Chain A
């Protein structure tokens, strides 16, 4: 736990009073202005992030429990933003809670619900409260969620949001006006390495990197040969890539995802492996598979880390890390 203990010592970040004008907005050096997650990304070790889904309501007990469970076991925790267009407690609230409990939050921001004024304002607020990491997403359509009649905003998209962050860092807003106090963020985006067709997705990936993405958390990967090929393409871009790992909880879930989740393909071999699990032990089998995949990615130095999405099974994340040989921190 030595590395984590060291990190715990400087967990309190200096509060931004008047933020210093940041540099030119391109690839930044590690360690500037206490961007701890950026330091971790550049440290050369295998990065592990996971995610917290806020509650539908103001009962924060479960979320706090998950934060406490995971905050010292991973390098950073994403807080989702109305994932699947289901109205929830806001990601910024969740991110503040992560921070208050001593974790490192990654604020997920979608463009579905807020126009450019609100998005910029939220970035100013997040920065002022010590949040330093943002994952920029376009966002699911409202029609897939639980407020199907709502207006989808999409005033900006994920590329434009990344650019907006880099613009704010230079001390200006999107209207060209000067800011009284700028921001600085470690900003990331997502990619679906197995999108079909793939090339449009890769074009978008390149645009995200150009727009300022410095880390990528991918959609769930299961076929590591395909992922390896994706990494051959992506590695030269220099952006840090964390492979998405979604815990399989049953073979039916795997089939469901194959049918319904764009860009997620669980190979038949893994479905068969899930089927071999004894009754009531499917989740254990899923944990074993996830742990094995992470181990392969780490030992093969295939990518820069993983992003574990347990979707309602946050209790299983520590077990996944144990299976992966990452219990007790990701030092190495």
Chain B
């Protein structure tokens, strides 16, 4: 299941963003940010406590089950009054949620979180990015391991010269994607794929921002 992986902004930054807003309504989400412990029930309550201490007036709080779902509009309607009393919404969801809510209401939305990557849970509390949506999938060439995502430099003709005992130049705890790809292809008897020259990537398969409409 893909998840939006977030980290809470520092309180100094949040308070700075909220400087011109005295009355706040706090919104969390029951899905990815609950998993990441950045915007679930507990975190929303803690934030309300903290903002109260900082002299803000919290008009109310809510945790939307899936904030980025279009029908979150309905959930927000149930809290219409306390939202109307607020100067701004402090949104403790990933950027998908912040933008969904921001589109649905007039009131300013302030993000309390930074969205780090779209990834998946590998173990309890362990999240990894596996796909960066390049639009030109070469997983068949690399034994099912994405070098565009897992190689820090996104190399398709790897490894680079910084590879170090199967670890990455940037972090001794991070595996070198191309060492993993090499081992996988070797085990499959398909090292010829690694020997193949991969041409420069098409970075504009889907000029950003991505949009797609299915024509009926």
Chain A residues at the B interface, C-beta cutoff of 8 Å: 112, 116, 137-141, 143-144, 152, 154-160, 163-164, 174, 190, 192, 195-197, 199-201, 203-204, 206-207, 210-211, 219, 262-263
Contacts and interface: CB of A to CB of B under 8 A. Distances in A.
Query: Which 8 A-B pairs rank lowest in CB-CB distance, beginning with the nearest?
Result: A262-B164, A200-B182, A159-B157, A154-B153, A138-B160, A141-B170, A160-B200, A157-B155
B164 A263 contact: yes
17 contacts: A138-B153, A138-B161, A141-B153, A141-B162, A141-B169, A143-B170, A144-B169, A155-B200, A157-B153, A157-B155, A157-B157, A159-B157, A196-B166, A200-B158, A203-B191, A204-B157, A263-B164
B203 interface: yes
B159 interface: yes
Contacts of A190: 161
Nearest to B152: A141
Contacts of A210: 197
Given A138-B155, A157-B153, A159-B157, 20 more contacts: A112-B153, A138-B153, A138-B160, A139-B153, A141-B162, A155-B200, A155-B201, A160-B198, A160-B200, A164-B200, A174-B200, A192-B161, A200-B178, A200-B179, A200-B194, A201-B159, A211-B197, A219-B161, A262-B162, A262-B163
Interface string B130-171: 000000000000000000000011111111111111100110
Contacts of B53: none
Interface string B22-34: 0000000000000
Interface of B: 152-166, 169-170, 178-179, 182, 186, 191, 194-195, 197-201, 203
Given A144-B170, A219-B161, A152 B200 contact: no
Contacts, number: 87
A83 to B, nearest CB: 12
B161 A262 contact: yes
B164 to A, nearest CB: 4
Contacts of B200: 116, 155-156, 160, 164, 174
A140 B157 contact: no
A138 B155 CA distance: 9
A219 B169 CA distance: 15
Contacts of B203: 155
Given A141-B169, A190-B161, A262-B163, A160 B195 contact: no
Contact of B157 (A116, A160, A174): A160
Contacts of B199: 160, 163
B197 A152 contact: no
A195 B163 contact: yes
A119 to B, nearest CB: 10
Main secondary structure of the interface of A (DSSP, over half): mixed
A152 B154 CA distance: 10
A140 to B, nearest CB: 6
Contacts of B158: 157, 200, 204
Contacts of B182: 197, 199-200, 203
A140 B168 CA distance: 11
A154 B153 CA distance: 6
> Which of A196, A200, A201, A263 has the most C-beta atoms of chain B within 10 angstroms of its own C-beta?
A200
A180 B191 CA distance: 40
Contacts of A262: 161-165, 169
A134 to B, nearest CB: 17
Contacts of A139: 153
A204 B159 contact: yes
A213 B166 CA distance: 25
Contact of B155 (A143, A154, A199): A154
A163 B162 contact: no
A207 B195 contact: yes
A209 to B, nearest CB: 11
A155 B134 CA distance: 13
Contacts of B194: 200, 203
Nearest to A112: B153
A246 to B, nearest CB: 14
Contacts of A164: 200
B9 to A, nearest CB: 17
> Which of B155, B157, B161, B179 has the most C-beta atoms of chain A within 10 angstroms of its own C-beta?
B161
A140 B169 contact: yes
Contacts of A163: 197, 199
Contacts of A156: 200
A173 to B, nearest CB: 12
A163 B161 CA distance: 18
A210 B198 CA distance: 12
B197 A140 contact: no
